[in-house]
Amino acid sequence: MFVYLPSSRRTGPPWATLLIVAACVATFLWLVTLPPGERLATLSRWGTVPSTLLDPLAPWWQQLLELRAARLVTAIFIHADWLHLTGNLLFLVVFGVSAERALGSPRFLAMFVTGGALANLVGALTLAGTSAPIVGSSGAVSAVVGAYLALFPRARLGLVLPLGVFLEFVRIPAPLLIGFWAALQLLFTYVGPAFGAVAWWTHIAGFVIGILLALLSRPAIARRLRN
C-alpha cells in the first residue's frame, strides 16, 4: 500500500481535499439509506449515462432541463459501493494533500472537478450508446495523480511490502509507481469486462488531463510561492 510522506513545508489545512472526502462519504451514506430500486434510479439520474448524455435526438431545452451536462460533475461524488469509495479516497488523500499544497486549495478543487468532468466525458464517448451510468471520482482522482506526477517528478513514495512474516517500508520514485499504475490502466482498457464494469478510459483521460492542468498551473504556483 502507499504511505504518504509529508514534506517539510507546512501551509494551512488541505480543506479542499477534506471537503471532497466529506462530500463523497456523505453522498454514499445517503445512498445506502435508500431502497435498492430508488438507489439505482438515483445512480442513473445523477450519474453520467453515455446514451443519455450523447443522445442526438434530444432537443437542447430538454438537455438543459434535465441537467445532462451537470451530471458529468455530480457523477464524481457518487459511488456504487464502499470498496470503490475507499479506494478512490485513499488515492485522493495520498496524492491530493501534496498537490493541494502546491496548487492552492481553490485551484486544486477546480482541477479536481474539471478533470473529473472531462474524464467522464471521455468515458462517455468511449462507451457511446451504453445505458449503464458512469459514477465515482476515479477520473478526478486520476487527474490528481497526474497532477502530482507533474508537480513532483522527483518525489519518492513510501511503500509497505510484505517480506515473509515482516512488513518492509521502502521509498520508491513516484514516477516508477505512478507509471506502473498508468500502464495497468492502459492494459485494462483492452482486457475490458474481465476486470469488472469499469470505465478504464476515464482513468487514463483523467491522468493526462491532470498532468496538463498542473503544467499549465506552474506559472501561477510560482507567483503564489513568491507572494
Give pLDDT tens digits along the chain (227 positions). Answer: 344 444 445 567 899 999 999 999 999 999 999 998 999 999 989 999 888 887 777 776 677 767 788 999 999 999 988 998 999 999 999 999 999 999 999 999 999 999 999 999 999 988 887 888 999 999 999 999 999 999 999 888 876 666 665 666 677 788 888 998 888 888 887 765 444 456 788 999 999 999 999 999 888 887 776 66
Whether 178 and 143 have beta carbons less than 8 Å apart is answered as: no
How many Cβ atoms sit within 10 Å of the Cβ of residue 158? Answer: 14
Partner residues linked to 166 by β-bridges: 163
Q: What is the 3-state secondary structure (H, E, C) of 79-103?
A: CCCHHHHHHHHHHHHHHHHHHHHHH
**β strands within 1-152, DSSP E:** 2-3
Query: How far is it between the farthest Cα atoms of the chain?
Result: 62
Task: Please give the model's pTM, rounded to 2 decimal places.
Answer: 0.86
- Whole-angstrom distance, CA of residue 200 vs CA of residue 35: 29
Location of C-alpha cell 497532477: 147
* Contacts for 201 with CB less than 8 Å, ≥ 6 apart: 122, 123, 126, 189
Query: Domains in the chain, ordered, with CATH?
Result: 7-226 (1.20.1540.10)
Q: What is the SS3 assignment for 177?
A: helix
Number of residues assigned to the chain: 227
